[in-house]
Structure 1
Amino acid sequence: MPRQERAPDAGCQRVVLFPLPYESHLSPMLQLAALLHARGLDVTVLHTDFNAPDPARHPDLTFVSIRESLPEEAVEADIIAQLLALNAACEAPFRDALASLQPGVACAIVDGEWYAALGAAAKVGVPALALMTESAATSRNILAFPRLRDAGYEYDTSKDEQQLDELVPRLEPLRVRDLIRVDGWEADGLRGLIVLMADAMRSAASGVILNTFDAIEASELEKIQAELSQPTFAVGPLHRVSPAMSAAERSFLHVPDRSCLAWLDAQPPRSVLYVSLGSMARVDRVVFDEMAWGLAHSSVPFLLVARPGLANGINDAPPPLPEGLTDVVGIGNNNAARGKVVTWAPQKDVLAHPAIGGFWTHCGWNSTLESICEGVPMLAQPCLGDQTVSARYITHQWGVALELGEVFDRVRVAEAARKLMVGEEGSPSKGEGWQAEN
């Protein structure tokens, strides 16, 4: 369907957006930008040079670099150190870039993890809204973090299993083990980052925008509004309500291999398990090998995304498949192949394809929303950050996913894949009862 856009009025004020430079954050922010532009607003996207989006893919929007100077060591740092370094490096350049666009800026919409930019906008006199690219449940977790820390409810690997399985007061159904965490990375840095985000949301933001909708998170949205003095707006799912984007516009930092769609065309309805751990998660090589062998032994047709950097220790290339696996399962474009491997997939199109019967996911919020809206049941393998929160909700609150479990080997993987794809747990049928209303 062609876009239906209204030309901006001559006196239309500008809205400035500032996305966090990661695939999962760029996507909803640029979807929101397209939605605002279609409503007749003049939209300018300020962006970092680090992981900069390609303006040529979004011809309707204006892009302006803030020209930050990110320390070289921050580029290779872990995600928490990188986020802290980005906030420090971008505060002044963002403030100056925003000031240079004055007068005429009605408001700024800033990713909720840009806590420094939220404060900088206030110094320029521009009201700023925080776009939370996580779920409402995760946003509640962030707001509650200071209270949880003081009450001793932080996730801590030194806790025993009984303590980790304890429900968190006022955050049910979350257990301690489901709280936001980044295993293997410096805990004090994560604590500091979450506190800064919570403080900025409360004190610097003029309002909070959430990429979610009442049908699944009405209770969480009500509780967030009760905690905040400023208004909250549920505007999602953005991938469904924003204007239709071309394939080029939907590609932000990774270029999808669209040959997988032709391969899916040759597969029976609801027969293929789509496997993707998103744009940021990393797993040990042994875990990737067990994933691959488990898929091979499951007898389930699969589409596997093996992006560069997915396996620890292999940064610039996709992890190679285990030796001998191709001979066992058959992988390729031909119709007889039971598996296909790509470095990146056009996920929205894949999940909407009738051949897809299940989604093995890292439980990133964008992926979760897309799967729910297409009625695709999920197999949950949370890896970091807010993904444990989403995993708990999709498995125990909304009943649209199965847990992969803590024990991870090829036998467990094969059993879980078969259970999702051919067992009763894979019901309801794709597209029945889970579709988001638009």
Structure 2
Amino acid sequence: MEMQMELQPQPHVLLLPFPAQGHIKPMLALAQLLCHSGIHVTFLNTEHNHRQLTQRQALSGRFPTLHFHSISDGLPSDHPRSVYSNYMDIITSLRSKMAPLLHQLLVSLMSKNDVDDPVAQLPPLGCVITDGIMSFAIDVAEELRIPVIALRFISAASFLCNLCIPKLIEEAQLPFGVLSHIGSLFSKVYTIGPLHALLKSHIVDNNLSSSSAAAASLRQEDRRCMMWLDSQSVGSVIFVSFGSLLKLTRVQLLEFWHSLVNSGFPFLWVIWSDVLWSDEAEHLSYVIPGELETATKERGFIVDWAPQEEVLAHEAMGGFLTHSGWNSTLEAMWAGVPMRCWPQIGDQQVNSRWVGEVWKIGIDMKDTCDRSTIEKMIKALMKGEERDVISRSVDRFAKLARTSVSESGSSYHNLEKLIEDLRNL
């Protein structure tokens, strides 16, 4: 009996994220957690994003059961692939062009007929874990009778809103218990966030978290900002990042810039090279007012991309001006950093509402984008009575997050349940 159990092949799971930075990163964290338990994982990216993940080999070396694979997204090579401005182009192409390629790949992974094919050396595919946005992948897996799990990278509150907006209007269900309602709609729900923290709790390796985050990034991190943070006072810096998708107008950019300079606080700002809408500027080489340049050199630091988890965890961090993406929200909660929220798209409005009005761990700035208002809000976030009230709530939620990923916590337990269920498929 013991010999038979030793020869029993480990499960093989395919993970398919939506082709965007904020979806690839947590999905890759889950992949590492599954591999750490001995499960074989085929991590499937579009060819475009597969090429961007330059540290694939390093991760595969660390996790021998992690296998990277790619298929075409069906878009021409010169397509900008901006999720913010080309979302429907991407979705349409994925559904029409990527779906049949996924069908072919799943069929090949279900068998081991071709011994010359490296893919065939894996155990037969037993499950697909797909991004919930990739609904076509659910259809393909179900057609082939492969068990499928949908992974959502938005808050439970936003997910329930997406599901129940018609009923919320029709039946006046507000206020609602988030997870209790979701649980009534699905046979199984695994609440396993925050994934980046869960990865740290399972694999005690100081180098893993930074290397894992960098490997999941589609942009090159500028680590000079960490040395700059080391030179700043404790709790003095405002960190500004609006994620990997959001586009700004030139006016919006300058309003934020003036407000940061006028606030008087040191600031670290992520401004990626194509953050502006293309009809306003092709790059950031336009003329910047002299006072902004001078003040930024004195107390600001601007990077194209930053190691956000490490930045938020730095002792110099005092506040986070964010777009309220769910990854950023969870990372700030975990690090215990108060948030000033400027939501724009997707689940960000709901996340921001919960951060400000329900959890009381930040302030919702809504659609405000004038320099005087932003300056006042930054000052309120960084000092004063409102800051003190928010800080108490932030500390409480940071403790809750840490408890959830500890061995006695709900996220830790639910991950073990997911792994157990994958083994029993």
Q: What is the TM-score normalised by the length of structure 2? A: 0.80
Of stretches 83-92 and 414-423 in structure 1, the one that deviates more from structure 2 is 83-92
SS of the equivalent of 2:346 reads: coil
Q: Match of 2:241?
A: 276
Given the alignment of the two structures, is residue 357 of structure 1 paired with residue 357 of structure 2, yes or no?
Answer: no
CA apart distance, 1:146: 4.9
Q: From the superposition, tell whether residues 403 and 78 of structure 1 become closer, same or farther in structure 2 (CA, over 3 Å).
A: same
CA apart distance, 1:65: 1.2
Alignment of 1:33-432 (within 5 A): 33-52=31-50, 53-54=53-54, 55-59=56-60, 60=63, 61-71=66-76, 75=81, 78-103=86-111, 104-147=124-167, 151=170, 169-172=172-175, 219-228=177-186, 230-242=187-199, 243=203, 245-251=208-214, 252-313=217-278, 317-318=283-284, 322-331=288-297, 337-427=298-388, 428=391, 432=395
1: distance between equivalents of 2:376 and 2:133? 38
Q: Match of 1:433?
A: 396
Of stretches 401-410 and 340-349 in structure 1, the one that deviates more from structure 2 is 401-410
**Aligned amino acid, residue 262 of structure 1:** M
Q: From the superposition, tell whether residues 120 and 339 of structure 1 become closer, same or farther in structure 2 (CA, over 3 Å).
A: same
**Aligned amino acid, residue 108 of structure 1:** V
1: distance between equivalents of 2:296 and 2:7? 57
Q: What is the TM-score normalised by the length of structure 1? A: 0.77
Q: From the superposition, tell whether residues 51 and 172 of structure 1 become closer, same or farther in structure 2 (CA, over 3 Å).
A: farther
CA apart distance, 1:85: 2.5
**Aligned amino acid, residue 249 of structure 1:** S
Of stretches 425-434 and 265-274 in structure 1, the one that deviates more from structure 2 is 425-434
Q: How many residues align?
A: 363
After superposition, the C-alpha distances for 1:313-368 in whole angstroms (9 at most, x for unaligned) are 2676457683214444142xxxxx31111111100000000000100000000000
Of stretches 100-109 and 67-76 in structure 1, the one that deviates more from structure 2 is 67-76
**Aligned amino acid, residue 84 of structure 1:** T
Q: From the superposition, tell whether residues 171 and 36 of structure 1 become closer, same or farther in structure 2 (CA, over 3 Å).
A: farther
CA apart distance, 1:9: 7.0
Do the aligned residues in 1 keep the contact of 2:343 with 2:366 (CA within 8 Å)?
Answer: no
After superposition, the C-alpha distances for 1:21-73 in whole angstroms (9 at most, x for unaligned) are 11000011000000001111111112211322342352222011123422566
After superposition, the C-alpha distances for 1:204-255 in whole angstroms (9 at most, x for unaligned) are xxxxxxxxxxxxxxx3111101122x21110111010114535343122011
Q: Match of 1:25?
A: 23
After superposition, the C-alpha distances for 1:58-117 in whole angstroms (9 at most, x for unaligned) are 222201112342256684662233223323221111111111111421211000000001
Q: From the superposition, tell whether residues 75 and 380 of structure 1 become closer, same or farther in structure 2 (CA, over 3 Å).
A: closer
Q: From the superposition, tell whether residues 393 and 406 of structure 1 become closer, same or farther in structure 2 (CA, over 3 Å).
A: same
CA apart distance, 1:128: 0.6
CA apart distance, 1:130: 0.3
After superposition, the C-alpha distances for 1:244-285 in whole angstroms (9 at most, x for unaligned) are 535343122011111111111111110000000000011111
Q: From the superposition, tell whether residues 375 and 102 of structure 1 become closer, same or farther in structure 2 (CA, over 3 Å).
A: same
Q: Match of 1:12?
A: 10
Do the aligned residues in 1 keep the contact of 2:381 with 2:387 (CA within 8 Å)?
Answer: yes
Do the aligned residues in 2 keep the contact of 1:90 with 1:117 (CA within 8 Å)?
Answer: no
SS of the equivalent of 2:397 reads: coil
Do the aligned residues in 2 keep the contact of 1:301 with 1:339 (CA within 8 Å)?
Answer: yes
Q: From the superposition, tell whether residues 171 and 90 of structure 1 become closer, same or farther in structure 2 (CA, over 3 Å).
A: farther
Do the aligned residues in 2 keep the contact of 1:358 with 1:376 (CA within 8 Å)?
Answer: yes
**Aligned amino acid, residue 59 of structure 2:** H
**Aligned amino acid, residue 235 of structure 1:** I
1: distance between equivalents of 2:213 and 2:185? 34
After superposition, the C-alpha distances for 1:115-147 in whole angstroms (9 at most, x for unaligned) are 001110111221110000111111101211454
**Aligned amino acid, residue 169 of structure 1:** A
Query: Which stretches in structure 1 are left out of the alignment for 5+ residues?
Result: 1-7, 152-167, 174-218, 332-336
Q: From the superposition, tell whether residues 319 and 392 of structure 1 become closer, same or farther in structure 2 (CA, over 3 Å).
A: farther
2: distance between equivalents of 1:413 and 1:267? 22
2: distance between equivalents of 1:319 and 1:234? 45
Q: From the superposition, tell whether residues 375 and 120 of structure 1 become closer, same or farther in structure 2 (CA, over 3 Å).
A: same
Query: When you count helix as a share of all residues, which structure comes out higher?
Result: 2
What RMSD, in angstroms, separates the aligned Cα atoms of the two structures?
A: 2.4
